[in-house]
Chains A and B, each alone.
Chain A
Amino acid sequence: MPEVPTSPSVAMSNPLLTENSKSFSVKSDWAHWSVLYGASGLFALICAVFLISIIVSSIPAWHHSGLSIIYGRVWSQGSNSFGALPIIAGTLATTAIALFFAIPIGIGSALAIVHVVPGRLRVFLSSLVELLAAVPSVVYGLWGLLVLAPWFEHTVEPDLANITGHRFPFQAPPEGVSLLLAGCVLFIMILPMIVALSRDAISIVAHDQFEGALSVGATKWQVIRKVVLPGARNGIVGAVTLATARALGETVAVAMVIGLNPLFPPSLFATASTLASTIALQFQDATPLQVAALGALALILMTMTAVVNWFGRRLVRGLAFRVGVI
């Protein structure tokens, strides 16, 4: 029995079908395929032009600075010095801070949602997490700037400095807007994504395997540790990888809370910069050469996120594509 009835449309088209039945062959359907190829080709063309445009726009910068764009240590728009190493470092550092919090809390939450909280709450939390994954990043940035930044400046950062005795990387005056704040805002942003995707991966580990482990005397945690997590491993690693790509490329939320300072941050409490936030905030008033340098940053950013993202997709391929989450 077919699950989805299609009777109205099939019935309507029946006369037409009999008429054309003699000419049935896939080849004869060039009109159908040409529409399909047309749309797909258009999208492919857009992607190709996009890629070329980013590469071409960066060429003057590579002419000007060569590979020192990647390893140079001084980024100064004013003196046309384009060394993006501190910016790349800032990008990696904010992402690392975000993952440091998001991995344990995200996976822990996903496990709790699937295996700890009771049924109704589970449904509620699952949909809540998916809705939060859809909240625009500018809203996370707004909250980070207006709520979190003052709290970090007056409470979190001074306290952390005192507890750790102002040792690296917790020294220097608390500024609120900082590397640490940017990392934390990113953490809150990618958390729903990690939870939603790992929850999928964890819940497809079959219940009968769970019972199988219990019935030879495993405790609940032993089942999770030895059966559920290994079974969900690909999905979880994929979730974390996709979240990493998102954190590396997040623009507006980070631009609002990082202070845009293209230096190696001496401390977690210092301002810093990331690739995406530098592009966002310096593009508008840039000279043609500076635009090219930002194009080079864009190319670096694109390469980084594309590689990470491609890797992550391969791992979550078994799971349903989740719009609004990834």
Chain B
Amino acid sequence: MTERSTMVTVSAEVAGQEGDPRSGQISMRCDDVAVKFNGRTAIRDVNFDIPKNKVTALIGPSGSGKTTLLRAMNRLHDLTKGAVVSGSIRLGDTDIYKGGIPATLLRTRVGMVFQRPNPFPTMSIYDNVVSGLRFNGIRNRAVLQEAAESALIAAALWDSVSNRMKAHASTLSGGEQQRLCIARALAVEPEVLLMDEPTSSLDPISMRLIEELLDELKSRVTIIIVTHNMQQAARVSDLCAFFLMGNDRAGEQIEVAPTKKLFSEPDDPRTLDYIQGRFG
């Protein structure tokens, strides 16, 4: 899909970063993580650290298990019958699977934004943003108001909706709905925000808006983003993890490296093949 020369230009844009993003604090840590559905392995052998207040991108072709891994990070597989997550995923010092934390509580600390905007259509814009706080038992109006404003500002939506907070969420455009979902996730002040191809259903302008947003959100949350779009990964991420589908059709981790390095001089030849568009 792209030639090497463009890749190099793109990666040059992110040249502002210094050193390895992993040198700072660690937010989440995956050790030997594997996810199986009814005995069939979807992804395995995942071992890497997610640096705090950085953007980590998970890239790779379809079927490489990126989304499966992402959903394991806030225990969304709990809903799926026959899904087993093995190994350990740690948030700070807590193993999120081995009884360390109830799933409900974990999800307030690790939020998620989905592929398609999914605001609650029966709720107003305001109710959407504060829904997480209300679910968690926060009733104080002033607190809700303040959190809603802060989250909407952070999601770059405040200016366009501040005068119509009672309007239905469905009156917003697709890009605005996705930013509303980001605001909804931010309102509970998670430590980590998981994003599953958040721009894949949006137009290019909305996509660019959200990409620009990520850079500002870094100071507030640690971001893990799954994307099919390699330019996007190159533009927004500090660290990049590359996955491929193995011979047994299970996804596996190929290489994890600072984005700049991964796109310019990857260690693994398969990574080079992928970013040069030889498959996927």
Contacts from A to B (Cβ < 8 Å):
118-119, 206, 208-209, 211-219, 222, 226-227, 230-231, 233
Contacts A118-B81, A226-B131, A226-B135; is A214 near B107 (CB within 8 Å)?
yes
Across the interface, do B121 and A119 meet the contact criterion of CB distance under 8 Å? no
Shortest distance from the beta carbon of B48 to any chain A beta carbon, whole Å: 22
Q: Can you list 17 A-B pairs, Cβ within 8 angstroms, ordered by A?
A: A118-B81, A208-B114, A208-B118, A211-B114, A213-B135, A214-B107, A215-B74, A216-B135, A216-B184, A217-B105, A217-B108, A217-B188, A218-B132, A219-B135, A230-B120, A230-B122, A231-B121
List residues of chain B with CB within 8 A of the CB of A217.
Answer: 104-105, 107-108, 132, 135-136, 188
Across the interface, do A218 and B104 meet the contact criterion of CB distance under 8 Å? yes
List residues of chain B with CB within 8 A of the CB of A231.
Answer: 120-122
> What is the bound-complex CA distance between A45 and B1, given in angstroms?
65
Most A CB within 10 A of own CB, among B79, B81, B116, B135: B135
Contacts A118-B81, A231-B122; is A216 near B116 (CB within 8 Å)?
no
Residue B181 at the chain A interface, CB threshold 8 Å? yes
Most B CB within 10 A of own CB, among A119, A208, A211, A219: A211
List residues of chain B with CB within 8 A of the CB of A214.
Answer: 76, 79, 107
User: Taking CB as reference atom, which chain B residue is nearest A229?
Assistant: B122
Across the interface, do B111 and A216 meet the contact criterion of CB distance under 8 Å? yes
Within 8 A of A (CB), among B92-111: 104-105, 107-108, 111
A-B contact count (CB 8 A): 72
Nearest 6 CB-CB pairings of A with B:
A216-B132, A217-B108, A215-B112, A230-B122, A218-B135, A212-B118
Residue B155 at the chain A interface, CB threshold 8 Å? no
Residue B185 at the chain A interface, CB threshold 8 Å? yes
Given contact pairs A215-B107, A217-B132, A226-B135, a sample of 7 additional A-B residue pairs in the complex whose CB atoms are under 8 Å apart: A209-B121, A212-B119, A215-B114, A216-B131, A216-B184, A216-B188, A218-B104
User: Taking CB as reference atom, which chain A residue is nearest B186?
Assistant: A216
List residues of chain A with CB within 8 A of the CB of B131.
Answer: 213, 216, 218, 226
User: Taking CB as reference atom, which chain B residue is nearest A233?
Assistant: B122
Interface size on B, residues (CB 8 A): 28
> What is the bound-complex CA distance between A211 and B118, given in angstroms?
9
List residues of chain A with CB within 8 A of the CB of B188.
Answer: 216-217
Contacts A211-B114, A212-B181, A214-B79; is A227 near B108 (CB within 8 Å)?
no
User: Taking CB as reference atom, which chain A residue is nearest B116?
Assistant: A208
Across the interface, do B104 and A215 meet the contact criterion of CB distance under 8 Å? no
Contact with A along B202-217 (1 / 0, CB 8 A): 0000000000000000
Most B CB within 10 A of own CB, among A214, A222, A226: A214
User: Taking CB as reference atom, which chain A residue is nearest B78?
Assistant: A214
Shortest distance from the beta carbon of B202 to any chain A beta carbon, whole Å: 15
Across the interface, do B118 and A209 meet the contact criterion of CB distance under 8 Å? yes
> What is the bound-complex CA distance between A246 and B181, given in angstroms?
42
List residues of chain A with CB within 8 A of the CB of B134.
Answer: 226
> What is the bound-complex CA distance between A222 and B120, given in angstroms?
13
Contacts A209-B118, A211-B114, A217-B132; is A119 near B81 (CB within 8 Å)?
yes
User: Taking CB as reference atom, which chain B residue is nearest A210?
Assistant: B79
List residues of chain A with CB within 8 A of the CB of B105.
Answer: 217
> What is the bound-complex CA distance between A231 and B119, given in angstroms?
12
> What is the bound-complex CA distance between A215 and B114, given in angstroms?
10
